[in-house]
Chain A
Amino acid sequence: MIETRGTSARALARTAGLSHSTVSAVLDKLDANPDARVEARTLDKIAAALEVDATWLRTGRGEMDNNAQQGPDLQAETRSAVARFFNLPNWAALLRAARALEPTLPDWVWQRLAVAAPVLIAPPSPPSVAELGRYIVRHETPPQ
């Protein structure tokens, strides 16, 4: 998966906001045993960085890459194991579509948004995620 995404463990760690040693340890563990237990939060961050569906990466079930055009089930989303944006079943597709709408926003904005915890009152869409990206840029300071 890392190779097909044209990235490296180090770049993946940077994007996911994890240490290189953590990502390397997870990859080594899964290489040795694909069924090995890995902390859900870590796998979710890796899924967000790879822009693949978190449930698919964690369990192998469902689609690797959900369709952003499909109307999401808000109740199912908010009852996910961890209620952050990156846990949305279609987050990878939403993020990709939002980034296409706002291609100049820096990576840190999307990374910060991925781990944000919202009280959702409507299903997110690519334009609403793009608007949140612009909001983050206006209101928050970039990482040092």
Chain B
Amino acid sequence: MSECGVAVEAAAELRGGVHNIPARLVESMADQAWEARDGDGAEGLARGQKAPPVKYDPELPQGQDGMLTTQAIYIRPRGSAGYVLMLILHELAHWMLARAGLDDPHGDVWALALALAAPLALLRRLKAEGELTAVRLAAEAGMPWWAAALRIDMTAVML
């Protein structure tokens, strides 16, 4: 499966997957993670959450591009930087939901991963500037266009 396949899967999970927690809680968890971040990028967010370390490994066994265990977030470094960002944030979202004592269905995991990539404050700023498009959001947040489009969709009722 290519990055496009993962994108299609993420879209399906967001729209038709299992969601256990309200959207406001997702946004709140992402905002708190941004306040607590310890350094730049997805790894800074992970460090701020005291999540297991991110380990990039091109030799990660075939069949998965990312894997969270109790000891590490393993990432296969392939594709665009934006794709790698989303892989890390996906695994970090699993970890944050589980640490909060919540189940981590993929609907919630992808929602939190996207919120971590682009916090609501960024979307509000772009909207105020009349620039809330997937292209602009992707450029500002360093996320893939597909992820930016999904993020705008999931926050449409909040902005």
A residues in contact (CB < 8 Å) with B:
40-41, 74-75, 78-84, 112-113, 115-125, 128, 131-132, 135-136, 139-141
Residues of B whose CB lies within 8 Å of any CB of A are: 1-2, 5-6, 9, 12-13, 16-18, 55, 57, 60-72, 74, 87, 90-91, 94, 103-107, 109
Closest CB in chain A relative to B143 CB, distance in Å: 15
9 contacts between A and B (CB under 8 A): A74-B1, A116-B67, A116-B69, A118-B67, A119-B90, A121-B1, A121-B2, A121-B65, A139-B72
Nearest opposing residue in chain A for B59, CB measure = A135
B18 touches A131 (CB 8 A): no
Check A117–B9 contact: CB distance below 8 A: no
Which B residues are in CB contact (< 8 Å) with A131? 61-62
State whether B106 touches A122 (Cβ < 8 A): no
Chain B residue contacts of A118, Cβ below 8 A: 63-64, 66-68
Q: Across the interface, do B62 and A117 meet the contact criterion of CB distance under 8 Å?
A: no
A135 with B16: CB separation less than 8 A: no
CB-defined contacts of A121 to chain B, threshold 8 Å:
1-2, 5-6, 63-65
B contact residues around A124 at 8 Å (CB): 63
Given contacts A79-B17, A79-B18, A83-B104, contact A117 B61 (CB under 8 A): no
Bound-state CA distance A75–B70 (Å) is: 25
Q: A79-B13, A79-B17 are in contact. Are A119 and B70 (CB under 8 A)?
A: no
Q: Which secondary structure dominates chain B's binding surface?
A: mixed
How long is the Cα–Cα vector from A68 to B146 in the complex, in angstroms? 34
Q: Which of A81, A83, A112, A120 contacts B69 (CB 8 A)?
A: A112
Quick one: which of A78, A82, A135 contacts B103, CB cutoff 8 A? A82
Nearest opposing residue in chain B for A121, CB measure: B1
> Smallest CB–CB gap between B107 and chain A, Å?
8
Say which residue of B6, B12, B87, B94 sits within 8 Å of A83 (CB atoms).
B94
Residues of chain A with a CB closer than 8 A to B12's CB: 75, 79
